[in-house]
Each structure stands twice: as C-alpha cells, then as structure tokens.
Structure 1
Amino acid sequence: MTSKIVWIVGASSGIGKELARQYAQKGVTVLASARRLNKLEELTNEFPNQISAVQLDVTDTDSIQNATERVFNCDNMPDTIILNAGIYQPMSHTHFVAQNAEEAMMVNYLGVVRMIEPILPRLVNANRGKIVVVGSVAGYNGLPLSLAYGPTKAALINLCEALYIELIGSGVSVQLVSPGFVKTPLTEKNKFPMPFLLDVSDAAERILKGIDKGKFEIVLPRRFAYLLKIIRMLPYTVSLPLLRKLTGS
C-alpha cells in the first residue's frame, strides 16, 4: 500500500464509500468528503481512528476552498486525492431536458475542474501526489439513456489525458478510473439489463489495486470496457447500429 493519507471526494455512498472503507481497513488515513456530513456518519462511526469527515460541495467554490485549506494545512498532505463525486439521471430523446444535462455537467465535470484548481498547485509545489478521477465507460461511446451523463464522462476522459501529458516529470500523476456497471444507488435507477454488473466491494478492490499499480487508466470489468473500446474504433456505419443492437434500444 503506497498511500498513507487519502482524500476521497464523494465518499458518502457507492464506490467512494466502499473505497474509504477498504482503505481504512488497510490502515490508511482517510479524509472523506461529501456535501452532507450526516451521510458520512456511518464511515466515521465504523472507523473513528482512520476516517475523518470533511464537508465539501463540489458545486460551491467557497466550500471547495475551505475544505482544501483544511486538508492541506494539516501536518501531512494527502498522497492520493480521489475525485468521485457524481450524479446520474437517465435521459432519452423522449424526455430531453437541458437542465438535467446542465446539472450533470455542473457536478460530474465542473466539480472535478473546481477541485483540481486549488489542489494542483499544491501538489506541483510539493513535487508529489496523485489525482484519481472516477469517470465511466459511458464516456467512450454515445449510449442510450446517457444523453446527460455520457458527455460529462467523455469530457473527463479528455481532461485527464491532457493533464497526464502536461504533468509528466512534475512528480504529480493523474489516473482515470473507467468503471462499467457497478451495483450502487446510482445504477439502481436503471431499468435495463446491465452486462457484467459488479458488486461495489469487488469494484472498489479492483480500483484500489489499480491505483497502487499506477497505470493511467483503471478499467473494470475489463471485458466490457475493452469491448466498448473496440467498438469505438469501428466506423460509425458499423459502431452505431452495433451499439443499438447490444443495448437493446
């Protein structure tokens, strides 16, 4: 385990919560952030000596600044910062609502951008640290019901690729997590079959191992992710009808 202090933004449920739990079980100090502190009580009660709650709203610049100053004013700065906050609302052409897309972009993409602004200079000045961004395989291709969610994850992929290139040699690394379907409160909204659905504990374990290995992209499950990557390389005349068939849309 290379990380000694991990800051997880979006730790109140799903993947973020399970990552916090598994890091704590391994003796890592965890700073768990979410918009509502009461949502973090289960974690802090379960691991009072390992997990501390830091209130943060990724849509609020002042909240981010206050939380960042609190975290980095400690004696030891975090080794790894995991940006996991996100929302998901299925949206199709039959119920196309611009506000849904705006809200998704505000949290999923701009929330990450707002977080990176204050933490990146601190990491670069220290010549160390790791930023882990939780994206999704939904960013690889245009998928049914993902008209609001998918574009936010596509933007994150592009952002992480560019950051990775720019930060080479800086001592700061960037990793992108691209999960497929994971059993969380978010995916409970889906009313369609979810291939290769992973239990959240299994997904978190794979992500944790991938973070330690240091590869740029951590994909899970691999079969599903690589299938979508291959489809993305095909001509649109082939890929789009194939995606329609595979998703049953």
Structure 2
Amino acid sequence: MSAGCVWITGASSGIGLALAERMMRDGWAVAGSARSADALSALESKHQGKFFAYPLDVADEVAARDVVARIRQERGGLDMAVLAAGTHEPFEVEDFRTEVFGKLVGINLMGVVNCLAAVAPGFIGEKRGHIAVVSSVAGYGGLPTAAAYGATKAALNNMTASLKFDFDRHNVKLQLVCPGFVRTPLTDRNPFPMPFLMEPEDAADAFYRGLQSDRFEITFPRRFALILKLLNMLPYGLYFRLVQRGTGK
C-alpha cells in the first residue's frame, strides 16, 4: 500500500489513535479529527510533519464538509478516509432513556453518514480513493447492555454493504471494519467479561493489514468474530441461552 494522506476520525484515542500511530510509522500523513482540539494539538506537536489536527464534531454535517475541503487544500489531496469516530453507553431497560439512543445514533451512525457525504464526491470525481467504515461485531446481533450501541452498528453494517455496489462502479474501495473487544476508554465501561480482549496496538496492526487486503470486511480478533457470526445463525432460543451463559447477563 503506497503511503499518502489519510483522514482518520476519532483519532485522539482508542483504535483511531493506535491506527494513526501505526500508519505514521509506515510513512502516511495523518489528518486527524476528533472533538478534543487539545488532544489533537498535542499529537500534532508530538508528530510534527506527520500528524495534522482538524478538530471536528462528526455530528455536524457542514463542519465535516469544511474539514474535508481544508484537508484536500492544505495537504494536497486525500487518499483514504477511516471513519472511526464513535461512542458507547451501556443501556439497560430499567433505565430506558431515549436520549441515549439519540446520542449514539447522532454520533455512531449519522456521524459516519456526514463524513461519507463529505468524502464521497471527491473520490467519485477522481475515480479513486479508499474508505473504511468502523463498525463493531456488536452489530451482528443483540448483546446485553448494547441495545443502542449495537443498533447503530447493525445499521452501519447494512449501509456499508449496500453502498459497496455503488462505490465499486466508481473504482472507490470501501471496507467495513468490525472489531471485537479492544481495550479503550469505551470498553472500560462494559460491565461484563470481554473474551479475546485486544490491546490497541495489536488491533491497529490487524486493522492496517486488513486495509492492505482486498477483503470487504476486516475483523479482529477473527476467531471471536467467527464465533459471534455462528451464534447468530442459531435459533433465537439457543442464541439467548448461550449469550447469557457467556456474559452472565
């Protein structure tokens, strides 16, 4: 994979940060976006000439378009977009709050939609480009405490698969990234055991290898993703019993 300029949202922490650091080591210029301007500024100072800060709330459609326009102008173009910004909030029916769904839909789903709307025209016009949408294995099927989070990720899975037909016509590479459990501030909120938990650096290596492949879906750890896919092929009665046993919920 030739190095160029990559835009990474959610670049100030978690998987987004780990991937940014991995790609910089391989010669990529990273245009990093997140809501925390201070965190991005610190990364820009630490990685001078390699990391470039573009603060952004992905829920703001107009701001997303402005950021992409600035990146293209200031960095001399754009080769790849990794849409990794997202958040998680555990949800249980005893504390049913519609605002939790609204918040996660606004960031996890519409945030990606806003960023896609910002990058798609340029890539389509150039008949080139690479987009990676970061979802989650939680989108494969219902999991305890993930009613809001999992719903947004299931929507991303469906949307990205649907859009692949269109992007293929324009020679734009589109990939779906479904991580399992990676040690981040978000997964620290999970009140249940997390099998196959990965460190961010290991996840970033797997992520980067996937970007260099021709696979539509990038998963890691792959064994965990396969287990969840197989579970979701089972009758619901058996699925619920096995997930309850595995999570203790």
Shift in Å at residue 245 of structure 1?
Answer: 1.8
Q: Partner residue of 1:177?
A: 177
TM-score (structure 1 length as normaliser)? 0.96
Q: Which amino acid aligns with 2:46?
A: E
Partners in 2 of 1:3 and 1:28 — Cα distance?
5
Q: Distance in 2 between matches of 1:112 and 1:165?
A: 18
Q: 1:102 to 1:75 in 2, by over 3 A?
A: closer
Q: Which runs of 5+ in 2 are unaligned?
A: none
Distance of 2:62 and 2:180 partners within structure 1? 33
What residue number does 1:44 align with? 44
Give structure 1 regions of 4+ aligned residues with deviation exceeding 3 angstroms.
none
- For the 8 Å contact 2:134–2:176, the answer to whether it is kept is yes
CA deviation after TM superposition for structure 1 residue 69, in Å = 1.2
Change (3 A) 1:15 1:75: closer
Matched position secondary structure for 2:168: coil
TM-score (norm 2): 0.96
Structure 1 residue 125: deviation in Å? Answer: 0.6
Q: CA deviation at 1:193?
A: 1.0
8 Å CA contact retained: 1:139, 1:154: yes
C-alpha distance in 2 between matches for 1:135 and 1:247: 21
Q: Deviations over 1:3-56 (max 9, x none)?
A: 411110110100101111111111111101112210113321221011110121
Q: 1:75 to 1:150 in 2, by over 3 A?
A: closer
The alpha carbon displacement at 1:93 in A equals 1.6
Match of 2:228 in 1: 228
How far off is 1:75 after superposition? Answer: 6.0
Map residues 54-65 of structure 1 onto 2, 5 A cutoff.
54-65=54-65
Structure-to-structure mapping, 1:108-147, within 5 angstroms: 108-147=108-147
Give the match for residue 16 of structure 1. Answer: 16
State the partner residue of 1:78.
78
Q: Which whole-Å CA distance do the structure 2 matches of 1:2 and 1:93 have between them?
A: 48
Cα offset, 1:99, TM superposition = 0.4
Separation in structure 2 between the aligned mates of residue 147 and residue 248 of structure 1, nearest angstrom: 16
The one-letter code sitting in structure 1 at the alignment partner of 2:123 is L
CA distance in 1, matches of 2:75, 2:185: 35
Distance change (3 Å), C-alpha of 1:27 and 1:169: same
Pairwise mapping of residues 132-211 of structure 1 onto structure 2 (< 5 A)?
132-211=132-211
Residue 30 of structure 1: aligned partner: 30
**Could you tell me how far apart the structure 1 residues matched to 2:190 and 2:118 are?**
35
**Deviation (angstroms), 1:144:** 0.3
CA contact (8 A) 2:9 2:33 kept: yes
Question: Which residues of structure 1 form unaligned runs of 5+?
Answer: none
Shift of 1:176: 0.7
Change (3 A) 1:187 1:220: same
Give SS of 1:167's match. Answer: helix
RMSD of aligned residue pairs (Cα, Å): 1.2
SS at match of 1:198: coil
> What amino acid maps onto 1:204 in structure 2?
A
Identity of aligned residues (%): 40
1:243 alignment partner in structure 2: 243
SS at match of 2:143: coil
CA distance in 1, matches of 2:20, 2:168: 28
In 2, Cα distance between the equivalents of 1:41 and 1:21?
Answer: 15
